[in-house]
Structure 1
């Protein structure tokens, strides 16, 4: 299957770049030797570099397969320069997989699910269209005027475009989520390399239950869950000193914010982490941390400005510019309000009522509670809400007080993330990492650890293996037996996300003309139906804006609203 090759290419190339970064930092004496560096940490560092480089490249060229080919070429050069190091890490992986045999059972499950077509409801609305726009053009001024959600500036879409291979295989592939999923699961299954193996096991079970359905889709929800979670686990296992692990944590914090703004509370972790390593800080090390932050933040903010005209979209309060491509403020308010509206009430956009957002806390919380479809959402949320009481109880038990002191700052950061999620946009998929960790961390001083490494590995492998067997069994029964999914047809290339499965082109889209003469396709049934899927022969958007116009004669010059132009002219007068 082609996705397996792409997973391998992404992970091994990121390993090479991560090793290169480690060698450079060591040679410059910017990091301390705090123990062996795990291969997964090198891959995470390389992944962060990949995102950072492609964000910058997106200002000048389309982020398509040419850039991924250049990236792979650079990885080959690095692998040649550090052949012994690369060989050692690959050999280490093969040796460890003998200790974690159930990983291959999980791998089989992910391969099976990756043959399916994405079923995330946002994928056809703006995930896939965003990836296609990145594949075809450098970042386009005012693209959000065509459809506001195309200005949801996730660096995940930029990287996904580079690995989509649309022009090579005739459809867009989504290998990035599968690669990240396997990497994080492998790390969670390395029971012997963490101080909290029971926590890793519980998180693994939650990841398999909630996120397996996302491994074959282009949603940023998966990395926006797994990467903050991984950063927090690294913090819990952090060794004293300014080591490579700390640099990876800083990279992950910066990366998470550019993938999904809902992860921004993770930035708070920099304060206690920085305080803990203050004896090891030097001017050059502080400069390194600041440089990492700026290297991710500046391109991301600039992309926000170019796509929408706002510093951070869709937050019109940060309205510092008056570019002609700026999205009209009323539509920006709508996008901001709908994110909150959907998260609280799970009502379709066509039936949005902004008066609901004026409800008191006591009124909207019961409505939100009733609309939690997943059985486990409610009990996990309740455990998270009660978690401060569990943490305070440790103060009353001298034996648990030491563990309480170690866990306090990581817990407070996750609690801040939990509160931010619940009070802003409480859709569970926006805050999985914060919810799970807030619920679980307080129980670590109480949870019993299995006696002995052998018993630990035995029980963890049994539970992880059982979960993988359940996933495989569900796939066989539901998709192969009940749904009659033709897996043999999609064994090489997965089933595409396409409007062609829904009906004839003419029955799905309506051609309309703006006042400036632009031809725009709208899905038939809009606003109830909002999917443009992979359509790129003509401009396509879920909503029709008659004021939409080009800023010049070519798409690369961008889009604008005549309403915004008229507003600027009035202000000038």
Structure 2
């Protein structure tokens, strides 16, 4: 646990430096005035900038001490230049005024952060980490991006930039284990933001944005708490989506310089999440909307927005081509490169079909599933969900009625919808578009939780703002007491339920290393790697290396070294 705290003392200051520099540079590109110094905005921008730079470095360097040193030196340079230029100043933090509600919100936040710290030191629970996350990180630590690595194992070609960030901050070069703490850092940032939303709501700032943050605080632990210790790619998509939607809701209530910087951050996060997981594709609708709102009076600025988006995507696209031979994998329609390491077209097409079919009905032949009409596979898919999952889906399905009811209530009360709340319906429609895209393409719930939960939470946040927010006197006090005590009870439960006392003595200093699973030699056409043993259930984790889940035919090394890459060959 002490290592997690020490890691945070490196990670967050570095994110802050790169975030300030990125926002300032991007504002110059877009000709925006400098805006707010919001910690959530700045740190998210830093995560985006560090990931993009690490992706660029991975084209030429292993993500080891050399790449990490470049980022540290870059941070030092930003600090020196920013301090001399006057745009990077350390402001004295302002402490909230002492009050009972601040104390309650502070206790909730403390319990939530302790739960993040506890969960960060658990054994990795995400099965995909054993199948390919950990090995993909190991490849990045050992070599620059490897040509045709997707031929060795197709999931290596998925190329999530979240794994790039995990690799450069794994600190494996220190001689110990490869750390996987970046997810916990993002979770901590989200908890801080959501907890501040609860504090502001209790103190009277009862906007929809703060109501949404309040609701998302316990939901994040309920859905994602077990993923805190994993470098998995579902957690960042969901948490960053949940962070930027409240920021978007607040757009109308802040001054133009601040709103411009916030729009810049939301646009950047929407584009960035595409490089984390392709299931985030609907976020490009939000990026496009923000861009169109800005350029409607200045059409020439569209080129500047396009340049910024390309800057964020270029390292990811380059890595895609090197890993798979395709601009985006597994979308074989974007077959623009004739390189010898290209994954065969039929393999890429089959991979795409399997992803969609498995998300619908995992135990049925992919070709048959994809031929089924919606009315055939959807009832079977729904019946295969757990009771809790079915309840969540049903609540999302009836959420339009909830939105309509809250809107009608606001009209009847003749309440004034502030500028901060004007995007409420737009945020809901955007979430609905994301949920429909998820449902009709690859409806694995872990891909869609971000959208589905927003469909439920947005009407409730509106109700908190319009109905509860309008109460006065004793009813208002009773609601605040119930909310504060309820949040304390819920987060105390999360902390006690997740605490692993029997392993604490092994975790108080360092989080546990990746599990060690049995492997067997696996021949290639002209070499040998390792495969997960039969008792390992296709999971290799981090040691030994290189390891793939199961034997593969028709693949050869492109040279004498693993770093030379792999290519497919015809098999008699």
Number of the residue aligned with 2:235? 222
Describe the superposition over 1:417-464 as per-residue Cα deviations: whole angstroms up to 9, x where unpaired: 100111111111112211111223244443433458988876554343
Task: Tell me how far 1:75 sits from its aligned partner.
Answer: 2.6
Number of the residue aligned with 1:522? 531
Q: Which moved more, 1:298-307 or 1:115-124?
A: 298-307
| CA–CA distance in structure 2, aligned partners of residues 432 and 160 of structure 1 | 23
Superposition RMSD on alpha carbons, in Å? 3.0
Number of the residue aligned with 1:415? 432
Structure-2 change in CA distance of 1:540 and 1:148 (3 Å): same
Q: Give the TM-score normalised by the residue count of structure 2.
A: 0.86
1:157 is the counterpart of 2:163: yes
Number of the residue aligned with 1:12? 13
SS in 2 for 1:410: helix
1:475 is the counterpart of 2:483: no
Number of the residue aligned with 1:270? 287
1:546 is the counterpart of 2:553: yes
Q: Which moved more, 1:109-118 or 1:331-340?
A: 331-340
Number of the residue aligned with 1:570? none
Q: Which moved more, 1:451-460 or 1:415-424?
A: 451-460
| CA–CA distance in structure 1, aligned partners of residues 149 and 451 of structure 2 | 32
Task: Tell me how far 1:407 sits from its aligned partner.
Answer: 2.2
Describe the superposition over 1:364-414 as per-residue Cα deviations: whole angstroms up to 9, x where unpaired: 1222112223x4322221122223344455676634898596323222211
Matches within 5 A, 1:223-302: 223-238=236-251, 239=254, 241=256, 243-278=260-295, 281=298, 283=300, 285-302=301-318
Number of the residue aligned with 1:166? 172
Number of the residue aligned with 1:335? 351
Q: Which moved more, 1:303-312 or 1:259-268?
A: 303-312
| CA–CA distance in structure 1, aligned partners of residues 269 and 242 of structure 2 | 10
SS in 1 for 2:463: coil
Structure-2 change in CA distance of 1:240 and 1:454 (3 Å): farther
Structure-2 change in CA distance of 1:25 and 1:315 (3 Å): closer
1:136 is the counterpart of 2:136: no
Task: Tell me how far 1:79 sits from its aligned partner.
Answer: 3.7
- Tell me the matched-pair count: 543
Task: Tell me how far 1:240 sits from its aligned partner.
Answer: 5.6
Number of the residue aligned with 1:513? 523
Task: Tell me how far 1:145 sits from its aligned partner.
Answer: 0.5
Which of 367, 372, 380 pairs up with 1:359? 372
Number of the residue aligned with 2:567? 560
Where structure 2 has 5 or more consecutive residues not aligned to the other structure, the ranges are none
Structure-2 change in CA distance of 1:92 and 1:72 (3 Å): farther
Paired residues of 1:149 and 1:335 also in contact (CA < 8 A): no
Number of the residue aligned with 1:388? 400
SS in 2 for 1:486: helix
1:305 is the counterpart of 2:321: yes
| CA–CA distance in structure 2, aligned partners of residues 30 and 230 of structure 1 | 25
Paired residues of 1:100 and 1:461 also in contact (CA < 8 A): no
Structure-2 change in CA distance of 1:249 and 1:282 (3 Å): same
Paired residues of 2:55 and 2:315 also in contact (CA < 8 A): yes
Structure-2 change in CA distance of 1:488 and 1:278 (3 Å): same
Describe the superposition over 1:162-183 as per-residue Cα deviations: whole angstroms up to 9, x where unpaired: 1111232522111110110010
SS in 2 for 1:318: coil
Q: Which moved more, 1:417-426 or 1:234-243?
A: 234-243
Task: Tell me how far 1:236 sits from its aligned partner.
Answer: 0.8
Task: Tell me how far 1:517 sits from its aligned partner.
Answer: 2.7
Paired residues of 1:253 and 1:266 also in contact (CA < 8 A): yes
1:91 is the counterpart of 2:93: yes
| CA–CA distance in structure 2, aligned partners of residues 173 and 400 of structure 1 | 53
Structure-2 change in CA distance of 1:66 and 1:376 (3 Å): farther
| CA–CA distance in structure 2, aligned partners of residues 62 and 456 of structure 1 | 54
Task: Tell me how far 1:50 sits from its aligned partner.
Answer: 0.5
Structure-2 change in CA distance of 1:522 and 1:209 (3 Å): same
Which of 310, 321, 333 pairs up with 2:337? 321
Task: Tell me how far 1:302 sits from its aligned partner.
Answer: 1.8
Paired residues of 1:208 and 1:467 also in contact (CA < 8 A): no
Task: Tell me how far 1:229 sits from its aligned partner.
Answer: 1.9
| CA–CA distance in structure 1, aligned partners of residues 398 and 522 of structure 2 | 53
Number of the residue aligned with 1:498? 515
| CA–CA distance in structure 2, aligned partners of residues 117 and 311 of structure 1 | 35
Paired residues of 1:510 and 1:524 also in contact (CA < 8 A): yes
1:61 is the counterpart of 2:61: yes
| CA–CA distance in structure 1, aligned partners of residues 81 and 239 of structure 2 | 31
Structure-2 change in CA distance of 1:320 and 1:387 (3 Å): same
Structure-2 change in CA distance of 1:512 and 1:433 (3 Å): closer
Paired residues of 1:225 and 1:432 also in contact (CA < 8 A): yes
